DNA sequence: TGTACATCAGTGAACGCGCGTTCACTGATGTAC
DNA sequence: TGTACATCAGTGAACGCGCGTTCACTGATGTAC
């Protein structure tokens, strides 16, 4: 990945004719653009400009514009995943396995929505990949984290095995819809207090609707 | 609205120098474009082209591109609303008021998702309005229909008044997220059978999570 | 009922913009001998 | 260790595209008298 120039930690890539790590630099620049203006802002010309390189140079590393955008989408999705794992790590394992499992399910949702609010442009970009990703792809994927949380719920006895199939789509739909409505939908512009109350209500609905947890108030 | 030319039902607007109803024609053309290519396909030039008129002519009726797009968004939202009311009309009033109210809630969701699947481009367009609409605006609005359904649930005794506040956001998030995932998200490309099962599961989660209805299987 | 004239609703040409992409090229790098 | 040379990774200029928007204009409409 490091092709020599920056091997000494020297950042004077400018002085060199060869960049050394242009592909990554372009993807990073693309992510910055996506952060500001969403997927539509990710253009070959803008990314090359940000890196300080000619648009043509990008074609050494990407076959076309779609290839760059796809790479940026993957990065955005990875950031979403790491937001979820960050929230999952804050969940302490309590005495009650069922309660712990429910808290872990809730954490996946909070990590998802928090990322959407903190990085709306990247969130939108994460879901604009041209090719449809296989939902079951990789353990380090939002969907995989959700599946695991639901399986834990079954293992803890808080969700009947009969109700387990397809439950992932209920949780995912609710949390994804919440994020979309808050970030780019009619619920953008909600004040923090209202927003937090809405988030809590939606998560309660998911817990109640999936696992039969009594509704909090 | 009809400014003379078409007052006799004559469709030979082409022969006339003045169009007669250009504003509506542009909005309709914009909706057709949105149907095919989503909000990004709605351009002044393309709409004018479709109507057979110079781009400049559009500026007699819209201050700029954003004004045209906003008008198309409103039309798309109106179509979404009418899809919901169409589904609501199919719900027969049964003996059990609670059960009827639940079925009406489910109908709003089905109308919402069905429209998204049938008209993905228009669905996306409905939610790309530049200005944030007041969620409580008008009785003929998806949000208003949802609120009414939930109030009926309370009136029928199927939803406690204490749980009523903010319940609309739970239902909306779940159904909206489902629609987005199915139409432009990772769940596009699901086959009809799987898709129908997923829709049913999500609606069950909403009913269960909001009104405490036992989970169907 | 006729007519002069203001107003309305279009036309046609042009502008500048940013984009994706391609071409022939050149400087830098690394490797065979 | 030196050197010739193939290959790699960039440059610079140019193309065609569709877009939003503006300009001066002209044909059609409607109204005051």
* Helix H or strand E encompassing A31: helix A22-37
What is the per-residue pLDDT for A183?
97
CA distance B84 to B100: 16
Judge contact between A61 and A22, C-beta under 8 A.
yes
Strand D nucleotides in reach of protein CB atoms, 7 A cut-off: 9-14, 18-24, 27-30
Over residues A117-134, the mean pLDDT reads 93
How much is the pLDDT for B35?
98
User: B67: helix, coil or strand?
Assistant: helix
Q: Which of A112, A125, A108 is closest to A176 using CA atoms?
A: A112
Digit-coded pLDDT (tens) for B107-146: 999 999 999 999 999 999 999 998 887 766 667 899 999 9
In the predicted model, is pLDDT for residue B80 greater than 90?
yes
CA atoms within 13 A on the CB side of B28: 7
Q: Which two tokens stand for residue A202?
A: 């939606």
List the structure tokens of A39: 């997927």
Distance CA B102, CA B192 (A): 25
What does chain A come to in residues? 217
Is residue A147 scored above 70 in pLDDT?
A: yes
Mean pLDDT of the residues in chain A: 90
**Helices B167-183 & B97-118 angle (0-180, nearest 10):** 30
Question: What Cα–Cα distance (Å) separates residue B130 from each residue in A66, A185, B38, B127?
Answer: 26, 10, 15, 9
Nearest to A112 by CA among A160, A167, A174: A174
pLDDT tens-digit map of B24-64: 999 999 999 999 999 999 999 999 999 999 999 999 999 99
- Numbered residues of chain B with Cβ closer than 8 Å to any chain A Cβ: 40, 127, 132-133, 135, 143, 162-163, 166-167, 169-181, 184-189, 197-198, 201-202, 204-210, 212, 215, 217
């Amino acid at each position: 990945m490091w092709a020599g120039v920056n091997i000494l930690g020297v950042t004077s890539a400018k002085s060199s004719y060869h960049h050394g790590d242009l592909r990554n630099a372009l993807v990073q620049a693309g992510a910055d653009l996506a952060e500001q203006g969403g997927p539509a802002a990710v253009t070959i010309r803008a990314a090359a400009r940000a890196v300080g390189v000619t648009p043509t140079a990008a074609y050494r590393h990407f076959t076309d514009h779609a290839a760059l955008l796809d790479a940026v989408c993957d990065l955005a999705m990875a950031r979403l995943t790491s937001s979820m794992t960050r929230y999952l790590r804050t969940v302490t394992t309590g005495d009650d396995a069922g309660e712990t499992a429910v808290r872990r399910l809730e954490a996946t949702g909070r990590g998802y929505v928090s990322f959407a609010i903190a990085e709306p442009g990247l969130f939108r970009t994460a879901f604009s990949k041209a090719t449809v990703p296989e939902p079951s792809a990789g353990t380090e994927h939002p969907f995989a984290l959700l599946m695991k949380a639901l399986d834990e719920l079954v293992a803890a006895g808080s969700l009947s095995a009969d109700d387990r199939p397809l439950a992932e789509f209920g949780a995912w739909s609710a949390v994804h819809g919440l994020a979309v409505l808050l970030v780019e939908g009619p619920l953008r512009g909600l004040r923090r207090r209202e927003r937090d109350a809405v988030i809590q209500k939606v998560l309660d609905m998911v817990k109640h609707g999936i696992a039969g947890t009594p509704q909090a108030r």
